Structure 1
């Protein structure tokens, strides 16, 4: 049955947004419970892997579609929509891939490594203990982060001229590199959080009619997602600052990470 008023659909980043620096979401529990009772979808849109996001979906009791590895792929629970989208069926999901397989990404990085002599160390080149140490993740979570299906994370420190050369070589192979702060993430050029959000929004419109897309983020790699929604919000970072993206009319909300997330949903609750 189609909605007569727009149905809200939440697209949210995880790290630093719904999750705090300790990967906790206690501050947003009440908001998540209200959204669940109100049947408002919460779509994770993150750089995290499928394995990582499945962990948080189970922990938060949140079983909507989710976007992995910076827009590389969309996982839709099989039967979630009353129609198919023509994606591959795998492990109970209908899968829509926008990026490239991690095996291809690693193959290209290996070729560049051989040509340049640069280290270009990625998660696939490291042990679980090394990944846990360099990321600060508990071993269990580090193991999930290593299960990359559509990207590779480069942990080697790079000089600006190395970054410029690497971007050119990757682009020639249909790949792109995004800085995530400490590390770099390499994906297929088709991988894009905004493109994935637009695709999913179209499916929700087909299922429900009028919808209201809401995006919540905190960092530069959330920009494409925030640009693709009708109501973009930024939560505060740990230093209480907000990301500056003047090209998008975002609403800046007080509250670091999940504290700000809770405030956004409280406002939605008042207006619903």
Structure 2
């Protein structure tokens, strides 16, 4: 029986290179668009940042923001109201369903993350206890642009957060461990991305991917096979959830140790979008 693919992908360092370009992946992006394969962005970026790249990619599929904090489904995408869907495993009592209006699209949003003000309060508590941490909420747009290399308009989008606080730690490994322990005691968690640590609730990319995979399977005429592409530790839960997990190389041609240690992940032949392109072309040739 034929299968239908769904591709879940991180952005920074995966589909996007260090210059925030997906140009090296244009060939495979064109082919999955022609094959009507859903491309679901699953990123630590904010909703507005992802909408910006969805526009550039001409992408109209659901997406996941802020490390699994929010799942956004264009209204009517699956042909039924997501809030009425009976999941095989309920997303959890902490989940909030709401309607969100984007620039040109209305979404059904599944909110899995802790509201941003609570994360800012937690970071302030850490600082009062002597921890040297600095989050996006403490930085100006210009400072975020300087730390990330983003243009000012995109840095402004990156600052408008809902479920995830990227932050920097100044201090030793022992101080980092103390911070991580204090965060856990507050009922929150820390994950590591490409440039920053990320303070979140119990959400992660894997939980969001499972929700969307269930929705895709409910509407597909063929069996669904899920593909995940990522390259950083905060992609781990996503890669553990999909049927075929692909890790892309770092710019130095190495792979992230946290992902390598898992075993069983497919190694893309190339950094970021170069490896992404080769892996997806291989998928389309039936090599997976």
Correspondence for 1:224: 237
What SS does the aligned partner of 2:68 have?
coil
Residue 104 of structure 1 is aligned with which of 112, 118, 126? 118
1:119 is displaced (CA, Å) by 4.1
Unaligned runs of 5+ in 1: none
Query: Matched residue pairs, number?
Result: 267
2:30 corresponds to which residue? 33
Match of 2:68 among 71, 74, 78: 71
Provide the aligned C-alpha RMSD in A. Answer: 1.7
Indicate how the Cα distance of structure 1 residues 251 and 68 shifts in structure 2: closer, same or farther if over 3 A, else same.
same
Q: TM-score by structure 1 length?
A: 0.92
Instruction: Say yes or no: does 1:265 pair with 2:244.
Output: no
The answer on whether the counterparts of 2:249 and 2:270 sit within 8 Å (CA) in structure 1 is yes
Find out whether 1:113 has 2:123 as its counterpart. Answer: no
For each residue in 1:85-106, what CA deviation from the matched residue of structure 2 results, as whole angstroms up to 9, or x when unmatched? 2131111111111110111110
Tell me, yes or no, if structure 1 residue 160 matches structure 2 residue 173.
yes
* Rounded Cα–Cα distance in structure 1 between residues aligned with 2:194 and 2:28: 29
Q: Would the aligned equivalents of 1:226 and 1:248 in 2 still touch at CA under 8 Å?
A: no
Correspondence for 1:203: 215
Shift in Å, 1:170: 2.0
For 1:55-95, what per-residue CA distance to the aligned partner results, in whole angstroms no more than 9, with x for missing partners?
Answer: 00001101111111111111111111111121311111111
CA–CA separation in structure 2 for the residues paired with 1:23 and 1:242? 19
2:73 counterpart of 1:59: no
Could you list the per-position Cα deviations for residues 226-246 of structure 1 after superposition, in whole angstroms to 9, with x for gaps in the alignment? 111111112221111123424
1:135: how far off?
2.0
Poorly superposed stretches of 4+, deviation over 3 Å: none
Query: 1:146 & 1:228 partners in 2: Cα distance?
Result: 29
What TM-score, normalized to structure 2? 0.88
1:13 positional shift: 0.8
1:170 equivalent to 2:188? Answer no
Deviation at 1:248, TM superposition (A): 3.9
Instruction: Quote the offset at 1:121 in angstroms.
Output: 1.8
Q: After superposition, give the CA deviation of every residue in 1:211-237 in whole Å (9 maximum; x if it has no partner).
A: 000011112221111111111112221
Aligned residue number for residue 235 of structure 1:
248
Quote the offset at 1:182 in angstroms: 4.1
Does residue 93 of structure 1 match 2:129? no
Deviations 1:195-215 (A, max 9, x none): 111111000000105100001
Aligned mates of 2:227, 2:235 — CA distance in 1: 13
**Counterpart Cα distance in 1 of 2:285 and 2:196:** 39
Question: Partners in 1 of 2:285 and 2:151 — Cα distance?
Answer: 38
SS in structure 1 of the partner of residue 3 of structure 2? strand
CA distance in 2 between partners of 1:155 and 1:261 (Å): 28
